[in-house]
């Protein structure tokens, strides 16, 4: 399905969670000199114009980057994310918002490799044009590559099908971001099947999956199914900004599920998520859930046991995506390419090593709930 355009949802609370976590995953990989690959299976357009027709239609950025834009008390990890966006808006006005490919381009090092896939013809063209503009701007500044080979490759194609050909990467280090629209319920199955095959080919990789929390059963069961994948460890963080609407419309919650997460991620999220909940809360239903654990070992028939203990997770949410339309390329200065968006319908929104043989274990979840003007409470369950 090629109707989804992410420009309609650029900069919303789901993007904040996805992008600030992605930056931390990349920075962890940066701690070693060895090069790594960043693989984005659903890249979008790379950069979005918040004052453009698509993004301004529903102004979803007011639920995400908007409330953080003028904050001066940001935790260091959130400040790094916001500073990256401020750098592409030198006038001080919030006009451009980066997609995951642009963020990876800015955070990754020169000798790291970006492999970007986008199936939508318009978004794929915008993505390629945006990175071409970045290269041209660098050349105008006298900046020349110091490493051999193409650093960024943009491919119009199905990221699900294309991923396996890139694994394992030459350096045996990679971050894979999987972020489909989920407007087609088959996307949930495709994500799990793609990850299962990827873990066989490259069990030591770090895999990050963004997903919405919706009314449909596939969404409600998604995280529990990912917990069965045979990785080293998993981590699941969910951000809820408001109570679900009675009609089920509107994205109130989304999650990032990480397979083989760095050991630094969970303690960082315990510190930052209470702040993020308070900053983005729309009502007393705002909260976060943070849980981690190891997968259930496979049974003799090759199937994962269904007895995986699960940590407390947020309640199921009812919500549906917003509809999307067309987007147009934008002429952007350096660090500011063009943008688009994905549509969603009433039932769907958009925006390690093998198992160690121990019984499945889920560590306690941390549930942060905003109760109004008071500081959100972090509770261990």
Higher pLDDT, 2 or 169: 169
- E strand residue ranges, 181-233: 206-212
pLDDT value for 112: 97
The average pLDDT across 172-188 equals 94
User: Does the pLDDT value for residue 196 go beyond 70?
Assistant: yes
What is the model's pLDDT at position 340? 37
Closest to 347 (Cα-Cα) out of 211, 217, 192, 252:
217
| Triad 367, 373, 375: Cα angle to 5° | 40
Q: Could you report the per-residue pLDDT of 125-173, keeping only the tens digit for each?
A: 999 998 998 888 888 888 877 777 789 999 999 999 999 999 999 999 9
Q: How many angstroms separate the CA atoms of 5 and 340, rounded?
A: 5
- Every domain of the chain and the residues it spans: 7-380
Rounded average pLDDT over 178-188? 92
Count, in order, helices (H) and strands (E) of the chain: 10, 12
Minimum mean pLDDT among 153-157, 198-202, 230-234, 369-373: which range?
A: 369-373
For the ranges 56-60, 86-90, 320-324, 377-381, the one whose mean pLDDT is highest: 86-90
At 4, the pLDDT band (50, 70, 90 cuts) reads low
Q: Using CA atoms, how far apart are residues 95 and 86, in angstroms rounded to an integer?
A: 10
Q: How many Å apart are CA 129 and CA 338, to the nearest integer?
A: 8
pLDDT at 321: 31
Mean pLDDT, range 258-270, rounded to an integer: 98
Q: Are 84 and 136 in contact (CB under 8 A)?
A: no
| CA 290/CA 368 separation, integer angstroms | 9
Looking at domain 7-380, its CATH architecture is: 3-Layer(aba) Sandwich (3.40)
Q: What is the mean pLDDT of residues 115-134?
A: 92
**Whether residue 71 has pLDDT greater than 90:** yes
Supply the angle between the helices 121-140 and 100-107 in degrees, to the nearest 10: 30
Can you spell out the DSSP letters for 291-327?
A: EEEEPPPB-TTSPBPS-------PPP----PPP----
Q: Decide: helix, strand or coil at residue 185.
A: coil
Tell me the percentage of the chain whose pLDDT exceeds 90: 59
What is the predicted pLDDT for the residue at 314? Answer: 39
Catalytic residue among 123, 179, 187, 367: 179
CB 345 within 8 A of CB 332: no
Q: Is the pLDDT of residue 185 over 70?
A: yes
Beta pairing class for 37-40 and 47-49:
unpaired
User: Contact at 8 Å (CB) between 71 and 86?
Assistant: no
- The CA distances from residue 235 to 42, 222, 257, in Å, are 21, 14, 6
Based on the residue annotation, tell me whether 51 is a catalytic residue of this protein.
no
User: Is residue 366 over pLDDT 50?
Assistant: no
Q: And the tokens for 302?
A: 């090759």
pLDDT over 70 at 348, yes or no: no
Which of 18-22, 51-55, 316-320, 348-352 has the highest mean predicted lDDT (pLDDT)?
A: 18-22
Identify the CA nearest to 219 among candidates 178, 176, 248, 254.
254
Average pLDDT of every residue of the chain: 80
The DSSP annotation for 150-184 comes to: -SEEEEES-HHHHGGGG-S-TTS-EEEEE-----S
Confidence of residue 356 (pLDDT cuts 50, 70, 90): very low
Q: What is the pLDDT of residue 315?
A: 36
> Residues with Cβ < 8 Å from 116, sequence gap 6 or more?
40, 43, 46, 101, 127, 131, 152, 153, 154, 155
Of the pLDDT bands very low, low, confident and very high (cuts 50, 70, 90), residue 298 is low
For the stretch 265-276, pLDDT in tens is 999 999 999 999
Mean pLDDT of 283-297: 92
Provide the pLDDT for residue 276: 98
The mean pLDDT value for 214-221 works out to 89
β pairing state of 113-118 and 37-40: parallel
pLDDT of 297 reads 63
């Amino acid at each position: 399905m090629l109707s989804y355009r992410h420009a309609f949802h650029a900069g919303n609370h789901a993007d904040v969670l996805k992008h600030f976590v992605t930056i931390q995953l990349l920075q962890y990989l940066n701690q070693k000199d060895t090069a790594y690959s960043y693989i984005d299976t659903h890249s979008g357009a790379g950069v979005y114009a918040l004052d453009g027709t698509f993004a301004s239609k529903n102004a979803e950025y007011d639920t995400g980057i908007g409330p953080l834009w003028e904050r001066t008390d940001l935790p260091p990890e959130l400040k790094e994310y916001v500073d990256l966006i401020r750098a592409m808006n030198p006038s001080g006005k919030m006009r451009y918002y980066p997609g995951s490919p642009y963020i990876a381009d800015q955070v990754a090092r020169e000798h790291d490799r970006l492999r970007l896939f986008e199936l939508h013809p318009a978004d794929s063209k915008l993505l390629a044009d945006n990175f071409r503009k970045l290269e041209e701007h660098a050349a105008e500044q006298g900046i020349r590559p110091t490493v051999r080979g193409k650093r960024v490759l943009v491919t119009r194609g199905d990221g699900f099908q294309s991923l396996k050909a890139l694994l394992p990467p030459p350096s045996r280090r990679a971050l894979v971001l999987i972020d489909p629209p989920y407007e087609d319920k088959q996307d949930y199955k495709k994500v799990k099947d793609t990850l299962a095959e990827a873990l066989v080919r490259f069990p030591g990789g770090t895999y990050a999956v963004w997903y919405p929390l919706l009314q449909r059963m596939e969404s409600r069961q998604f995280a529990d199914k990912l917990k069965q994948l045979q990785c080293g460890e998993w981590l699941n963080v969910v951000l809820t900004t408001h109570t679900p609407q009675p009609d089920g419309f509107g994205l109130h919650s989304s999650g990032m599920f990480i397979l083989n997460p760095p050991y630094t991620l969970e303690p960082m999220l315990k510190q930052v998520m209470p702040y993020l909940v308070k900053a983005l809360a729309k009502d007393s239903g705002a909260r976060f859930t943070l849980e981690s654990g190891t997968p259930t070992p496979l049974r003799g028939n090759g199937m994962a046991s269904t007895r995986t203990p699960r940590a407390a997770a947020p309640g199921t949410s009812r919500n549906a995506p917003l509809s999307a339309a067309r987007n147009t390329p934008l002429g952007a200065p350096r660090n500011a390419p063009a943008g688009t968006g994905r549509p969603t319908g009433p039932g769907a929104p958009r925006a390690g090593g093998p198992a160690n043989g121990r019984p499945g274990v889920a560590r306690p979840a941390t549930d942060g709930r905003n109760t109004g003007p008071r500081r959100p409470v972090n509770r261990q369950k």
